[in-house]
Amino acid sequence: MNFSADAGKEGSESFVVDSERTLYPYVTGTSVIGIKYKDGILMAADMGGSYGSTLRYKSVERMKPIGKHSLLGASGEISDFQEILRYLDELILYDNMWDDGNSLGPKEVHSYLNRVMYNRRNKFNPLWNSLVLGGVKNGQKYLGTVSMIGVHFEDDHVATGFGNHLARPILRDEWREDLSFEDAVKLLEKCMLVLLYRDRSAINKLQIAKITEEGVTISQPYALKTFWGFSAFQNPTKGAEGSW
């Protein structure tokens, strides 16, 4: 807070309150991956929360059901994600108060999140998250994403963070519209395994969430089977020209 004398009025003082902005995130989660499959939407995320470069928290749930028809996953600042969940709780409560037999679907929730993220960006006080929003309503599957500055789109498969660079190429090659639940889970686990090997912020404790017409199911945390016995770890120059 600054106290400054008004140069134009002798003896008067003005009271100025400095505005505060989040300049960088503190505790963050890494990638979220979402795909459509035959019966609905599947989403995967690990449970790590990094304090800077330190993996500080290992039981952070980053996928939450929203209303009756939607599922939200988030990477980025964990406290900002909690703030977004508070916004959505108010939105769903207000929608339910109408008691008119209608309820917000995933397309409407995604549109709302687009406006929230873009509005906060225009105030130079963004919510430091990338979001994945999926859902099923009236037999229609919906999957979209929105960034911290309000950039948004919908697709058959989406990812945030490193997943956008490492998982999307796998999904472009192997995803298909008629994936069964079992095959879709295997594809997500393949993507998560690549991220586990390549992303320093990823941990081997993940959840997979499913949303269909029947509702949302989020799995218990589990670990993937990994393999670290690559020959490169024993002898990085093995087979290289000029090695001995």
Q: Is the confidence at residue 139, as pLDDT, over 50?
A: yes
Residue range 188-219, pLDDT digits in tens: 999 999 999 999 999 999 999 999 999 999 99
Would you say 166 and 58 are in contact if contact means Cβ atoms under 8 Å apart?
Answer: no
Q: For position 24, what pLDDT does the model report?
A: 81
Number of domains observed in the structure of the chain: 1
Task: Taking residues 117-141, report their average pLDDT.
Answer: 96
Helix or strand (DSSP H, E) at 33:
strand 32-37
pLDDT band at 240; cut points 50, 70, 90 = low
Q: Does any domain span residue 129? A: yes
| 115: amino acid identity, one letter | R
| List 22, 145, 212, 217, catalytic entry | 22
Q: What is the CA radius of gyration of the chain?
A: 22
Burial class (CB in 10 A: 0-12, 13-18, 19+), 48: buried
Q: Name the residue among 106, 108, 139 with its Cα closest to residue 39.
A: 139
**Residue 9 lies inside a defined structural domain of this protein:** no
Contacts with 2 (C-beta within 8 Å, 6 or more apart), sequence order: 16, 18
In a domain, 244, yes or no: no
Domain annotation covers residue 18: no
pLDDT tens for each residue of 4-55: 444 444 444 455 556 667 778 899 999 999 999 999 999 999 999 999 889 9
What is the C-alpha separation between 17 and 125, in angstroms, rounded? 16
Count of Cβ atoms closer than 10 Å to residue 95 Cβ? 17
The answer to whether position 91 is within a domain reads: yes
- For residue range 54-108, list pLDDT tens digits in order: 999 999 999 999 999 999 999 999 999 999 999 999 999 999 999 998 999 999 9
How many other C-beta atoms can be found within 10 angstroms of the C-beta atom of residue 169?
Answer: 12
Residue 79 inside a domain? The answer is yes
Task: Please say if the pLDDT value at position 127 is more than 50.
Answer: yes
Q: Which domain holds residue 141?
A: 40-224
22 given a catalytic annotation: yes
Identify whether 3 is part of a domain.
Answer: no
Q: What is the CATH number of the domain that holds 146?
A: 3.60.20.10
* Confidence (pLDDT) at 233: 55
Structure-model confidence comparison of residues 29 and 236, the more confident one: 29
Strand partners, 125: none
Digit-coded pLDDT (tens) for 149-189: 999 999 999 999 999 999 999 999 999 999 999 999 999 99
Asked if residue 113 is part of any domain, the answer here is yes
Residue 237: C-alpha distances to residues 101, 232, 244 (Å) = 67, 7, 8
pLDDT number for residue 36:
98
Residue 87 to residues 84, 122, 145, Cα–Cα distance (Å): 5, 18, 17
User: Residue 110: enclosing H or E segment and its boundaries?
Assistant: helix 106-122
